Amino acid sequence: MSQGVDIGTSETERVKAAAVVGLDPTPDVMLLSDRDFIFALWEKARDAGECLTAVRLAAEEALASTVAEDHVQFIATGIHQAFEVDKQRERERADAERANRQAKAQVLIAVGIPVTPELLGLSDDNFIRKVMKHPDAGPEAKAAAARALAGGPAEWGEFITNGAREAHDRDVAKELKELEEKDREEAQRRKELAARTKTAALFGITPTEAMLALGDDNFIRELVRSAPARLKGSDLLAAAQHAVLSSDPADWKQFLHAGAEQAYKRDAEAARKRTADANRRLVLKVQAAAAKTGMYPNLVEAAKKALAGSDEDVAEFLKPDNIYRAARQSFVSVDPKLINDPGGRSTWYIRQSSADGGAAYVAPVDEMSKQSVREDATWVVKGALNGQRGCYSFESVRKPHYYLAAQPNLQVRISPDDGSAAFRKDATWCARKGVSGYWTSFELAGKPGYWLRAHQGGLSASRADAKDKAFTAEATWAIFPPLAR
């Protein structure tokens, strides 16, 4: 491929980069400048959603750079490094989902409830309800389930991972204590069977009558032999292998009655920590990318709050709906005429009105306004629909997929994204240092030299005019916390 002034990457590098996001490397695509090629990659990563979050963020960082070497580096190596992050996160998510289903199976096996795909596929809270209502669940298991349901996702997860088995152990212990007063030998036999059943459950195995009849050492050997591939390298499998290598029956008993449970908990904690660490790294990346733009103070604060909280808080932040919600901002006019409003309501926001056919204007709004009004004055800040560096599109909170866009007559209103290149330019606003020398002004991507302006209550894209004394103040904006969070 012949290389032009704006192409510093080879055909092979581009084909490999395109394969990461599923971009068709057509001749037209291969002749794009490096920066435009990155934009094409970014579009595919954006459309792929959460599974290519790291790739999208890395592409946005590359697009924000004016240095050609940064563009080359992203195409040649950066996209692949980011993709490895995404793949690792997908693997960890898949592992977490498998572990969740396995933990549910362990609960069912331990309590004596038949394992079915339907039960394993239930949400955590509905799964707990099923366990609580099942006739084989004892009083302690039912009480523990009720306590978990009174909490949230963290309590649900703890019940499934450990709480259900521990509560069932208490139920069994009470039954055995009552039985022991009548038949000590039978109580001991049931105690051994309960330990074996619980240990097998940790392996995800429902023990057969033949297995339960084996001696302790052979029972453990059967667990090792039948252990699923997912347990390779686990503390649980290593503890079982260590036990069967011993010739001391006390070691076998210790494994069945306590060692297996301890090893399982170590594995569970290690898996939880791996996922939590990966989540924190991703939130830090999101925070850094958002802070770099200056356009997402609410997202930056949300990321900081999550990082200062628990691992569950971090995981909650990373849910796509929550990141989307955290990208909300409101925009305030800093025009002194409005700030000194004689009506006493000093904060004038950009808002829209669906009732008026998507009209956009500035109006006084505050925290005491109706929810619908506050939503009208809140916008989701998104990467530029046309992919232009340092530019953004503002999506209506009240009407998803509707954006603040300049019309042919240069009036500004909300309009639906029709997918056209013309619309995407008209709905893209480039953030610049305020024309007044402070705060922020927004230049229309489709018409350079025209700026988002509030004039006599309306919004328009207006040409900068040094003779127009009102222009400077009317085209300057402050980015405020979202009125509707």
DSSP for 45-60 reads HHHHGGGGHHHHHHHH
pLDDT at 346: 63
pLDDT at 383: 85
Judged against a pLDDT cut of 60, whether residue 197 lies above it is answered with yes
The angle formed by the CA atoms of residues 477, 482 and 484, to the nearest 5 degrees, is: 140
CB 199 within 8 A of CB 255: yes
Burial class from Cβ neighbours inside 10 Å (0-12, 13-18, 19+) for residue 96 reads: middle
Residue 439 is classified by DSSP as S
pLDDT at 344: 44
pLDDT at 263: 96
CA-wise closest residue to 240 among 105, 256, 269, 228: 256
Per the structure block, which two tokens stand in for 348?
Answer: 């004038």
pLDDT at 386: 85
pTM over the 0.85 mark: no
pLDDT at 343: 47
- The whole-number average pLDDT for the span 207-225 is 95
The pLDDT mean for the chain works out to 90
Residue with tokens 């055909």: 11
Query: Which of the four pLDDT bands, split at 50, 70 and 90, describes residue 387?
Result: confident
What are the residue boundaries of the structural domains of the chain, listed by start?
Answer: 1-121, 328-480
Query: Which of the four pLDDT bands, split at 50, 70 and 90, describes residue 339?
Result: low
The phi-psi region of residue 300 (left if phi > 0; otherwise alpha if psi is between -120 and 50; otherwise beta) is: alpha
- In this structure, whether the domain defined by 328-480 belongs to CATH 1.20.120.10 is answered with no
pLDDT at 341: 52
- The whole-number average pLDDT for the span 62-68 is 83
pLDDT at 6: 77
pLDDT in tens, 244-263: 999 999 999 999 999 999 99
